[in-house]
């Protein structure tokens, strides 16, 4: 006698779109309400810390460094804020991801410019390192290629490194915009990675652009880290790397896990939406911690630092220090 299959019931919400904000809030239990409240409070604290940091930067630091430092310090609070919006409004996830991706692409370019600024600007950098060479055999793609030739530090090579990060800041928003257009038209699904789908090729292009940008930052960091060690550049670079991995790699991993069925549907959240929901809550927690750490490592007065030795010939770059002494030996100073 043949055995009849058991009847199984599938909730229709597991097969449909992400729920609206009203449906999501209505489905929350006491624990869910407490969790959402905690995540929102953490986001608010991160934003307040950033506003206080802006006030400090604007009043205490040189005007030439204000904009760059504000951009870099704003990465954590902005990603936390977009994640909080995506957590409350699941259908807005694509737009919040777009905003965070565009902002962090610009932050990568700003971080490279910050390292040059910390050395006194482009002219001072070229004078100080004019006889050196960039080591290109560094991560993330060429750390094992020790046979690669070095590049002489010139205005042209410095432009190439800047271009490596600028192309990411320019092209990443463009491809994210194309992604949103395709998603709105029903031609793009993050869970579909088949060769016939645009999502796979957009992800590959974004990966190449990302690797090129962080390679440029890695080359510059390896060249200046010994000089800028008292400016906490190693800790700042570590925070930048952690934010990069968290904001770029973590969503991709969680999306693959959700696509593979490891994250089950939890009505009213489909499996893919629940994966984004988990990622957003993790991002809020992680970016909250990074915001607090960034405030600690970026909070210092530039005039109190003693680091890069610059000769009296560089008086045109740092006038405030050089004007205090006319003796070439006494004019030795630190940025």
Mean pLDDT of the chain: 79
DSSP type of residue 190:
T
User: Residue 174 corresponds to which tokens in the numbers above?
Assistant: 């463009």
- CA 252 – CA 276 distance, rounded (Å): 10
pTM: predicted TM-score of the whole model, two decimal places: 0.81
pLDDT digits (tens, 9 = 90+) for 30-45: 998 999 999 999 999 9
pLDDT in tens, 291-333: 999 988 887 655 444 444 443 333 333 333 334 444 444 343 3
Q: How far apart are CA 283 and CA 277, in angstroms?
A: 10
Say how far apart CA 13 and CA 193 lie, in whole Å. Answer: 23
Rounded CA separation 110/219 (Å): 15
Residues 99, 77 contacting (CB under 8 angstroms): no
Q: List, as one string, the DSSP characters of 19-34.
A: PPHHHHHHH--HHHHH
Q: What is the pLDDT of residue 202?
A: 82
Phi, psi of 74, deg, nearest 5: -80, -5
- If one compares 11 and 88, the residue with the highest pLDDT of the two is 88
Q: What is the pLDDT of residues 236-295, one digit of tens each?
A: 999 998 998 888 888 888 888 877 777 877 777 787 788 888 899 999 999 999 999 998
CA–CA separation, 110 and 71 (whole Å): 7
Q: How many residues does the chain have?
A: 335
Domains and CATH numbers, the chain: 18-304 (1.20.1070), 309-335 (no CATH)
Decide if 111 contacts 240 (C-beta within 8 A).
yes
Q: Is 333 helix (H, G, I), strand (E, B) or coil?
A: strand
In the chain, where do the E strands start and end?
133-134, 151-152, 309-310, 333-334
CB atoms within 10 A of CB 143: 11
Question: CB neighbours (10 Å) of residue 65?
Answer: 15
DSSP assignment, residue 330? T
Q: What is the mean pLDDT of residues 112-122?
A: 89
Token pair, residue 323, equals: 């004007």
């Amino acid at each position: 006698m043949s055995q009849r299959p058991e009847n199984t019931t599938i909730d229709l919400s597991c097969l449909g779109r992400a729920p609206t904000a009203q449906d999501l809030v209505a489905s929350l239990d006491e624990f869910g309400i407490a969790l959402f409240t905690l995540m929102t409070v953490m986001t608010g604290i991160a934003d307040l810390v950033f506003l206080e940091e802006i006030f400090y930067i604007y009043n205490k630091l040189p005007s030439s460094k204000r904009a760059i430092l504000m951009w870099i310090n704003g990465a954590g609070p902005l990603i936390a804020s977009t994640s909080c919006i995506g957590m409350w409004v699941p259908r807005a996830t694509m737009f919040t991801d777009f905003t965070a991706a565009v902002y962090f692409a610009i932050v990568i370019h700003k971080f490279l410019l910050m390292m040059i600024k910390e050395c006194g600007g482009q002219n001072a950098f070229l004078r100080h390192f004019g006889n050196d060479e960039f080591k290109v055999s560094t991560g993330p793609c060429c750390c094992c290629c020790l046979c690669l030739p070095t590049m002489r530090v010139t205005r042209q090579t410095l432009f190439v490194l800047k271009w490596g990060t600028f192309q990411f800041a320019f092209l990443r928003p463009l491809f994210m915009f194309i992604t949103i257009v395709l998603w709105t038209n029903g031609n793009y699904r993050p869970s579909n990675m088949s060769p016939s789908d645009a999502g796979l090729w957009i992800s590959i292009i974004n990966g190449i652009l990302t690797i090129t940008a962080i390679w440029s930052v890695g080359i510059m960091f390896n060249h200046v880290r010994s000089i800028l060690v008292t400016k906490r550049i190693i800790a700042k670079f570590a925070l930048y790397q952690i934010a990069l991995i968290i904001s770029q790699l973590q969503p991709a991993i969680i999306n693959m896990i959700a696509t593979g069925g490891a994250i089950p549907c939890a009505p009213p959240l489909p499996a893919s939406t629940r994966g984004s929901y988990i990622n957003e809550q993790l991002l809020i927690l992680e970016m909250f911690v990074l915001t607090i750490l960034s405030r600690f490592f970026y909070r210092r007065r530039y005039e109190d630092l003693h680091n890069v030795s610059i000769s009296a010939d560089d008086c045109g770059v740092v006038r405030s220090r050089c004007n205090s002494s006319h003796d070439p030996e006494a004019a030795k100073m630190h940025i």
